[in-house]
Every structure is written in C-alpha cells, then in structure tokens.
Amino acid sequence: MRTLAAPLFVVMVLAMMVLPLPAFVLDLLFTFNIAMALMVMLTASSMVRPLDFAAFPAVLLVTTLLRLSLNVASSRVVLLEGHTGTGAAGHVIEAFGHFLIGGNFTVGLIVFAVLVVINFIVVTKGAERIAEVGARFTLDAMPGKQMAIDADLNAGLIDEAEAKRRRAEVGDEAEFFGSMDGASKFVRGDAIAGLLILFINIVGGFVIGMVQHDLGAAQAANTYVLLAVGDALVAQIPGLLISVAAAMVVSRVGKDADVGSQIGAQLFGSPRTLGMTAGIVGGLGLIPGMPHLVFLLLGAALGAAAWRMHQAARHQQAQPAPQPEAARSSDAEASWDDLVPVDALGLEVGYRLIALVDKSRNGDLLSRIKGVRKKFAQDVGFLPPAVHIRDNLELRPSAYRVTLRGAVVGEGEAFPGMLLAINPGGATQKLPGTSTTDPAFGLPAVWVEERLREQAQMGGFTVVDCSTVVATHLSHLMQVHAAKLLGRTETQQLVDHVAKLAPKLIEDVVPKIVAIPVLQKVLQLLLEEGVHIRDMRSVVECLAENAAVAADPAELARRVRVHLAPAIVQQIYGPVRELDVIAIEPGLERLVTQALNSPHGAALDPGVAEALTRGAADTSLRQEELGQPACLLVPDAIRAPIARLLKRAAPRLKVLAHSEIPETHTIRIASIIGGTT
C-alpha cells in the first residue's frame, strides 16, 4: 500500500486543482498543510546526518505542489463565492484575514510583502547558494573519499561489507546534495508563485465584484482583497517554514549532533562568553534613558547562567583522579613472575597516543588492529600473533614504534585530532600544515587540521585519521615481516586448522612425511618472497609428492612455487593472460648463470652485481610509474639467488622462474636489464 501512497497523493493534489472543494475541506487541507510544514521543520532540526532525511528533496516537491494546488482551489472559491462575505473560502482564510491582520487588507498586504522578502530574499536565496556550493564540493570530494575507503579496506581496517556501505553512503550523499541543489528551486519558485497568485486574485476579485456582482469599489476591495491576502498568508507561512527547514538541512555542519544540540553546546556552552555578554548587557542597562529593567533582568539571567556553569566546571576539576594500583613492595623476593616474555608483535606508544587505545575516550585503535589481523589472516593465510600494546614514556609524546620479538621494525609519529593528507601522486595543491611522509609507503604527506578535510580531498589527497595511520603502518610491516611472524606455534595452529578441513591429508603427511620444522621453513621461504599460503591443502599435497626425493626446504619451496604458479601469477598480475615481464639481457644472463652455478661455488663479480641491482631498481621504478607490475623473469637455476640479491635494491620487484609461468599465459618483454627496451 505504501508504494501507491505517493502516486495517489499526486493524483489527489491534481484533482484539487480541477474539482471545486467545499469550505470545510479547504479548512481541513489548509490545517494539514500547516501541520505538514511544522513536521518537516522539526524533522530537519532534529536530524544528525543529511542522509537521516534523505527524502527531503521529494518532500519539498510534494509540499510545494500541495500549497500551489490549495492556492488554485482557494482562488476558485474566492472568485466564485467571495461576494457572499469573508467566510466564503472557509474559516481558516477568514481567521487569517481578520485575526492576524485585524481585518485591514492594507496591513495584510504589508505583512505579506515582509514575509515574501524574508522568504525570497533572505532564507531562500541563502539556502539556494549553500545548496549549490555544497553539491559542487560534495561531488569534488567523492574521489578522495572513495580512495580513503579503499585505503581502509586494503589495510584491513574494514571488511568488504563495511566498504560497500561506506561507498553507498558517499554516493547517497552526492545524490542528496545534488537533489537539494535542484529542489531549492521549488522553494524559490513557490515564493514567486505566491506573489503572482496574490496579484491575480486581487485584480480578478476586484473586477468580478464590481462587474458581475455590482459591488462598490470599496466593498469589492474590502471583501476580495481581504480574502486574497488571507489566502496568501495561509500559504506563505507554511512556505516560510519549509524554506527554513531547507536552509537548516543544507547549512548544518558536522555529523555528531542535531542542530539544537550544536547551537546549545557551541553558543551557550562557554561560561566566559556568557559572563562577558552579561556584563555588556548590564552596562547598557545602566545608561540613562535605556529601559533599565529589561537590560538588567536579562544581564542578571546571563550572569547567573555563567556562574553556574563555572561552578560546575570547578567541581568537576576538583574530583580526585583515580589512583593507580599499589606498586609491588620493593623488598619482595624475586620470582619467575618477574620474567616478562618478549612480545612476538608489540606496539609502543607515547603518552599523547594513549587516547587512541582508550575506549572510554572514544579510541578505536584496538578495533582497527583487530581488523588488521583479520585482514592479514584472510590475505596471507595464517593468523598472526596478537599485538601487545603498551605505553612507553621514553618515546616522544606523539611517537610510536612497532617491535617484532623485541626488535624495532618500524616507527613513526601520529598527532591525535589531526588528519594525514597523503599525496598519491596527482595532487599539486599546497596545504597548510606539517610536511612529512606516509610511514607505511613513504609517500609525501601533510598533517592538517580537521577543518581542512574537504579541501584536501578535493585537492586529490587521500585523507586518513590518526588511528588509520598507525593501523596502516602496522599492517604494512606485518606484510613485510610475514615470514618472521610464522613461528612454531603459528605453524602448529595452522596445521590444526587445516586438519579440520582435510583431516586425512594432514594425518598422512604431517608429521609422518614432513616434520613441523621442515614445513615451517618451507612456508617461511614462501612468505619471504611475498607468496601467500592460503591454499595450504595444495602446499601439503605438493610436499607429500616431493618429500621423498627432496629433503632440502629450499628445494621443496621451489617445487611448491611451481605447484602454486597460477596463484602466484594472479597475485602479481591479476586475472590477465598476457604478462608484461622484465628480462635480463641474454649476454648478462649467461654471465650471471655461469657465476652462480660455478662448480667452485657461487661467485658473482661485484661490478656485475652492482650493475644488475642498479638496473633492476631503475627498471622496477619505471614499471611502477607506468602502472604495471614489476616482475623479473629468469631461468629456474638462478631464480632464488637473484631474488635474494635484488631484495634490498628493489623490494617490490617480484622474481619468477620460467617454470612458474602457467601454460595458459603468454609473456611479453616490457623492459630489459642491461640492454634497451
């Protein structure tokens, strides 16, 4: 039934323009119009986010159409029955004509003109301009918001469902402000239509009264003009309420509280401001000739409010701080409890960052770290150790560092209350703030204030908050050091997990054919080169096939890589069939192969090694600038040593062997190291 409500309502509104309505029905509809306008204004003032009233543009259209149809219906009754008296169009119009303006149509015209000026020139004009700017800014900020959502998703801070919800919200906001930009024209047009309808009713009623009903000029003016003015006021007051509601919707800032709460907290929340205002108002009341009672009464009320707020603030500050737990007595005997184990993965923060992990202070870093661990497990293939967070007074107040088995593997700074605007490469705008680099990926960035969020997003920056900076850095470090995170405990837990899915396979292979230490080493060798181990069933099956002929973990890892070749290639290139690869110039490749496979031991000339690493770094950078994966294709015999040699010079360069290219794929040489493309 609700699906038919809107079209039925529109049909009824259109019928009001065509069919004559009795005076009682007009009274009922005019009252409903006023009630509807009040509900719209109250809803607009109590919403927290713009999307809380996403139907507002459609409501603007419906209410405007309702008012115009009522104008047409009432105009018909006024012009047809106006000669019978001021009650011809119903008691509502008569009441507005007599009670509000005292039966004086001249006063009514002036009041109506004032309302039109307020509505048309002040409220509607300002709301229309704000809607235009808001729509443009929202559309311009969409790419930055989408990039921020993608960054949170890639860092594991949110899951796919939350990312879809946020993307939908960004799209809905853009559609809402775009609709508001157009819907504001309804309010503007309604104000103009009300003015024209009043003029038409006055002229038409005056002519009909004098020509058709033989009324005198004074009587015709007194009757028809009074009815026309009452009709105009009945429609104009709801129109003004709707205009105010539209202005509230487009002019509000923030998503934390409704308009009333924002005004109360920000305008009347400072005892100092109220006290100074009370002093000024009271001083004006002491000037001779001023209305002393009014000024002094208001000044006293403001002063009392300021004093009460000041006393409440002092009382809150005087509350004793919670005392820490009593420290252990210094003369207690040493015990094994004093030996604190080294954390597998730790996060140490300065005292200013403690609020990020304090839920009572709206800190969300803990929940984000949980998301990082979940995302890591889904992508890499095993559950990493829990992150132990503690404060460290030796750090700078805004500094943090990540430790792996007691050793520092990364550190950075984060500033609560500020945002990090990261330049992904295309932003050229200069932002006011503290220049820095993104701790996770080394991109140029600027710490900016919260108020510059929209400006930075429109400038092409990816804007993230303080908690996201720390969580993203932690996620990146976990990816880089995934092999070190896979300890014996994690390996056993991974085997136990796979045993639930394939119990017979694990029972036959681990540890009967492949011992846990060998399995751990193979997995670590895979992780060191960024190969995910999500497909543990394939890994164990491959080890079962080759463990009898190869006992060396490095050789087993090589054979597992060949077995996982389709997944490795897809991880690097995605679902493409033609692979753009980097190759080594044939002469240089032969020289390197001979040196690394020499019967006297691998001995690569330092000059050749330097030329190879420098060429690999330069070629890798060019490939990334072109938006293509950096992947070097080499013979099977030298893949592992080449990968180890180039890891420091080009950490994002992947090295594949010829046997690791699936038969379903083709290759194309995009760049050559030691030669020309």
* Model pLDDT for residues 339-386, shown as the tens digit of each residue: 778 889 999 999 999 989 887 777 888 889 999 999 999 999 999 999
Tell me the whole-structure pTM to 2 decimals.
Answer: 0.58
Q: In what order do the strands lie in the sheet with 666-673?
A: 654-657, 631-634, 578-584, 666-673
pLDDT digits (tens, 9 = 90+) for 143-181: 777 777 877 777 667 777 888 888 888 888 777 777 777
**Domains detected in the chain:** 2-253 (no CATH), 343-483 (3.40.30.60), 486-563 (1.10.8.540), 575-677 (3.40.50.12790)
What CA–CA distance (Å, rounded) separates 642 from 623? 19
**pLDDT higher at 73 or 106:** 73
Tell me the residue type at 162.
Answer: E
| CA 54 – CA 491 distance, rounded (Å) | 51
Range from 243-247, 449-453, 593-597 carrying the lowest mean pLDDT: 243-247
**Per-residue pLDDT at 319:** 61
Q: Which of 102-116, 321-335, 596-610 has the highest mean pLDDT?
A: 596-610
Of the listed ranges 259-263, 398-402, 499-503, 633-637, the least confidently predicted one is: 259-263
Give me the mean pLDDT over the 236-242 stretch: 79
* Model confidence pLDDT, tens digit, residues 41-83: 888 888 777 777 778 788 888 888 888 888 788 777 777 776 6
Lowest average pLDDT, out of 99-108, 114-123, 278-287, 546-555, goes to: 99-108
Q: Is the pLDDT of residue 132 over 90?
A: no
Among 94-103, 482-491, 575-584, 632-641, which is the least confidently predicted range? Answer: 94-103
Q: pLDDT confidence of 299, banded at 50, 70, 90?
A: confident
What's the chain's average pLDDT?
83
CA distance 595 to 577: 33
Q: Quick one: pLDDT at residue 156?
A: 67
Residues 295-312, mean pLDDT to the nearest whole number = 85
Q: How many CB atoms lie within 10 A of CB 80?
A: 13
Polymer length in residues for the chain: 677
Amino acid occupying residue 154:
N
Interaxial angle between packed helices 2-18 and 56-81, expressed in degrees from 0 to 180 and rounded to the nearest 10: 30
Cα atoms in the 13 Å half-sphere on the side-chain side of 538:
16
Give the closest residue to 370 by CA, choosing from 358, 381, 384. Answer: 384
Confidence (pLDDT) at 630 = 93
Q: Rounded distance, CA 606 to CA 257, Å?
A: 66
What per-residue confidence (pLDDT) applies to 326? 46
- Residues with Cβ within 8 Å of residue 573, at least 6 apart in sequence: 579, 629, 631
CB burial of 600-625 (b: ≥16 within 10 Å; e: otherwise) equals eeeebeeeeeeebbebbbebbeebee
Q: Which residue has the higher pLDDT, 395 or 331?
A: 395
Cis-peptide into 238, omega within 30 deg = no
Q: Do the beta carbons of residue 56 and residue 36 sit within 8 Å?
A: no
The string of pLDDT tens digits covering residues 250-275 is: 776 656 566 667 677 777 777 888 88
Beta strand 444-449 with 399-404 is unpaired
pLDDT digits (tens, 9 = 90+) for 439-474: 998 889 999 999 899 889 888 899 999 999 999 999
Question: Hey, what are 614's tokens?
Answer: 């420098």
Ranking 188-197, 496-505, 630-639 by mean pLDDT, the lowest is 188-197
Max CA separation in the chain (angstroms): 127
pLDDT at 268: 75
Which of 23-27, 335-339, 533-537, 573-577 has the weakest average pLDDT?
335-339
pLDDT for 167:
83
pLDDT of residue 318: 66
Question: 205-213 long-range CB contacts below 8 Å, 24 or more apart?
Answer: 205/78, 205/79, 205/82, 208/79, 208/82, 208/83, 209/82, 209/83, 212/83, 213/83
**Residue 328 has what pLDDT?**
47
Residue 322 has pLDDT above 70, yes or no: no
Whole-angstrom distance, CA of residue 342 vs CA of residue 346: 9
